[in-house]
Structure 1
């Protein structure tokens, strides 16, 4: 279907296991791709959807294997703003969140994390500079090292009540992040977790917090209000806010 510029929508069969290289490349009118709930799709070839400039959102099936999703599959999809994968019923770590293997299109502005995910691994979404909003699931317990490092457009974030740890440098350099509300379940914030979040204006640390890492809020130059709820001052490390 390469270059079928009038093709507007696709409904793929459940039996489909492979989408070949360049299969829908250059389909500039393609705005909708529907994968069935019982999809058998495991492989998407290189440049499969390259240049699909009308494609605004996509939800990939849980059957897809991480190592068969190419980094260039969505190159030139200049309107692709929402990206997610279907829940993997037999896994607490669907392919989309396996750390450095994650291949999320760099132009994505909105990201939905699967409802089965309990842990976002290190560098999972590092450097997604267009990412503005993220929906985190109620199941999430931990955010890993540098998970959202360098997501400079990230404006808002709602942590679930289940979250108990935020890793070192998890949100380092998220310069558009203005406010945070930490859940009562949170036990630890890693070193440099919010380093350089220059738009962050206020924080309220919960009573459940047991440790805060070195330089956790360093260079948060707009931070004007900090509330420590029953948090012992002795546990605040040196150069915590500097």
Structure 2
């Protein structure tokens, strides 16, 4: 079944289940099971073994522990913990109260989300989690749709991180340069020199600032929260 039209079944299952159940983890898990079934010719026993061995392989390849994957998972869990900590300690409410004294309309509320998205450049996941949690109550107050907020967050998180040398993305790219470039080359300088050519990031940031500042909405962005 590999290499045939049947390979479209798993993503279709995921999409349909997300629409029907609104449960991301359940939908993705169903897609994984469907993919494993196709790879193993619909044999349930082989499918179960394949899923288990693949899951174990994320952490242990049979000879050594995969510390990179473990650290990545711990890092993502840590981001979620920090976000929950901010919420439980009233950081979200406190920021919303402060912002409500200064923000007067929907455009300003959107610009707050954009500015936060630019300032929190350490990691795109942390950016999305934090800015979304902090900005949501403010944008809801001024009837900014969740679709528009999602766009503002997505178009600031990854683009900013991809051009910032102090972000997780920047560190990874600089590390790649250190391996690929001659020893005499300075990886940090090389990274900085490529920033003007990161057209997607620059264009995305320009468009999102324009869209927020002038309160321009398209399609579902017009739906109030």
The TM-score by the shorter chain falls in which range? under 0.3
Q: Which has a greater percent of helix?
A: 2
TM value normalised by structure 1: 0.19
Q: Which has a greater percent of strand?
A: 1
TM value normalised by structure 2: 0.20
